[in-house]
Chain A
Amino acid sequence: MGAHGSGTARRWTESLKRIADVRAPLGRAYFDRRTFLDAVLAVGFVSTAAAMAYPVSRFLVPPANAEPATATAVAGKAAALKPNSGLLFRFGNKPGIVVRTADGDVRAFSAVCTHLDCTVQFKTDTSQLWCACHNGTYDLGGNVVSGPPPRALEKFIVNLRGEPGDEEIVVSHA
């Protein structure tokens, strides 16, 4: 059993021969000799198997961001959000805004103004959320204070996740 290469192949074909070999009229060994065709077929089978196994194996490995982006998003680091400031972030395909009140409370809202869909921003002088398009103003509960917006801003749920001191702000739909 010492040879490599063609010796191994011969033993393989011999083994396969013996499995198929039965004393029946129709049963016969068909791998009489290793042909070029068999080699080509082997290459073909292996490469197609690989071509199928590769995507499947990549599929099984979860992507970096394991949650669908429309359900949850990371808004940034908690330490980076100073009191009385706001930060815009991306929530799926819509903008969101996370604010920290002067008391340190962290809240998050949809940044889509309910009037004509412009993006609101945080105004530090009035501590309100303001829309530059038509001067709509919201308080830090998301409720309309003045201007054309007909409804309050959609509220999101805020959680902190990670090592204490290095948490990230995780925002999810209510």
Chain B
Amino acid sequence: MVQQLVDWVDERVDLSGLRHFIAEKGVPIHTQKIWYYLGGMTMFLLAVQIFTGILLLLYYRPSATEAYESVQFIVTRVPFGWLIRNVHSWSANLLMATAFAHFFSVFLLKSYRKPRELTWLTGILLLFLMLGFGFSGYLLPWNEVSFFATKVGTGIAGAVPIGGKFLLRLLRGGDDVTGATLSRFYGLHVAVLPAITTALVALHLLLVQRQGMSVPLSVARKVKAGEPLRQMPFFPNYVLRDVLTWYVAIAIIAALAAFYPWELGKKADPFAAVPPGIRPEWYFLAMFHTLKLLPSHVLGLEGEQLGVVGFGIAALILVLVPFLDRRSNRGESSPVFTALAVLGLTYLVTFTIIGHYAK
């Protein structure tokens, strides 16, 4: 029966390419192969977000007067609304963690080297998009914490020299964080960012499938020297493993949703004072704390401006890494860039921890 269906489609759309791909695609086996799972995991968690996000869309109301109440409604009145909402909130955090882990593993293993520069490029952009998703989505419940975190975050955007004020107004939909900001962030979160993400993910996946999996430099050198590359068939060996990790992820998310439900918080009051110790979610904490520690004036520039410029430069360097790292393109080890990756990772982890425990 299934064969008949497949044949029917094959007569109209040539499936031989697909068949060939399924049979041919292999996944290299070596000591670092565990990192391969991170890409698929990120994609899976993104799918979970899209799915639960669409479900939440059916009940959420993006206005300052109704947003909080609609989330309360979802969580208290809609059957299993608590589950969908908690899954969405927890999976968002797991997605951020996985995206960063995937990014760092690629960075450290230098998978960005030729011919995978475009994959890296789309990947970095996707990482930035994930941060955008996190930031825009965080405001949508319209509670005290999310309101003030957005106020502080968009305030930092205003620190960008040349165009900072314009950027702030663009983000906030005005001079202050209001219902206009909510509308704007909602539009970003459910339409603009998903559209761009879809295109980039499609490109990213297409590139990965076309070019196959990258291997660490040491393995590449051995293959060049004549050693055969050990592989496992993508289908079904690797796919089964991937699905297994996804099921483990589901279990973790479900447990988190049931044991650590996301709180409703207090409804945002734009006229209330900023609660002391307000800070963004953990994935922004390192940047936030760095800005807090910078002195108010450095070399004639405002400290915050310097920080923002610094982050901008770092982002630019990241984007250009495959073009800057000549050595790995030649197949040689590139300790400078390894060091850069380790430094970046250490900085992020340390400052996130410090930012968490700081008063």
Bound complex: CA of A62 vs CA of B80, how far in Å? 11
Let me know if B341 is at the binding interface, CB within 8 A. Answer: no
CB–CB A60/B23 < 8 A: no
Given the complex, which residues of A lie within 8 Å of B215, measured CB to CB? none
Measured in the bound complex, the distance between the Cα atoms of B83 and A71 in whole Å is: 24
Q: How far is the CA of A76 from the CA of B81 in the complex (A)?
A: 28
Q: How far is the CA of A65 from the CA of B66 in the complex (A)?
A: 16
| A19 pairs with B2, CB closer than 8 A | yes
Interface of B is mostly: helix
Tally A-B pairs: CB < 8 A: 72
CB-based contact B84/A27 at 8 Å: no
Tell me which residues from 45 to 76 in chain A have a Cβ below 8 Å from any Cβ of chain B: 48, 52, 55-56, 58-63, 65, 68-71
Measured between alpha carbons, how far is A88 from B124 in the docked complex, in Å? 59
Instruction: List, sorted by A's number, 24 A–B pairs whose CB atoms are closer than 8 Å.
Output: A14-B3, A15-B1, A16-B2, A19-B3, A20-B22, A22-B23, A26-B24, A27-B233, A48-B247, A55-B79, A55-B80, A58-B80, A59-B79, A59-B80, A59-B81, A59-B83, A62-B78, A63-B77, A68-B66, A68-B72, A68-B73, A69-B73, A69-B77, A70-B69
Q: List chain B residues, Cβ under 8 A from A12.
A: 2
B58 within 8 A of A: yes
Residues from chain A with a CB closer than 8 A to the CB of B50 are none
A18-B3, A58-B79 known; A26 and B58 CB under 8 Å? no
CB pair B58–A60 under 8 Å, yes or no, is yes
Q: How far is the CA of A135 from the CA of B79 in the complex (A)?
A: 44
A27 pairs with B24, CB closer than 8 A: yes
Inter-chain contacts of A134 with B (CB < 8 A): none
The answer to whether A3 has its CB under 8 Å from any CB of chain B is no
Shortest beta-carbon distance from A127 to chain B in Å: 34
Answer yes or no: A24 CB below 8 A from chain B CBs: yes
The 8 closest A-B CB pairs, nearest first, are A27-B23, A55-B80, A22-B23, A58-B79, A68-B73, A15-B2, A15-B3, A68-B69
Q: Which residues of A are at the interface with B, using a C-beta cutoff of 8 A?
A: 11-12, 14-16, 18-20, 22, 24, 26-27, 30, 48, 52, 55-56, 58-63, 65, 68-71
CB–CB A19/B24 < 8 A: no
Interface contact B19-A68, CB-CB below 8 Å: no
Question: For the complex, what is the distance from the CA of A14 to the CA of B1, rounded to whole Å?
Answer: 10
Could you tell me the distance between the alpha carbons of A52 and B251 in the complex, rounded to whole angstroms?
11
Partner of A63, one of B72, B79, B84, B250: B79
A166 to B78, CA, bound (A): 28
Which residue of the partner chain, among A11, A15, A56, A65, contacts B77 with CB atoms under 8 Å?
Answer: A65
Whether A24 contacts B72 in the complex (CB less than 8 A), given A15-B3, A19-B3, A56-B55, comes out as no
How would residues 55 to 81 of chain B score, 1 for a CB under 8 Å from any chain A CB and 0 otherwise? 100100000001001101100011111
Question: Which residue of the partner chain A has the closest CB to B81?
Answer: A59
- The reply to whether A59 and B78 contact each other, CB–CB distance below 8 Å, is yes
Contacts of B73 in A (CB 8 A): 68-69
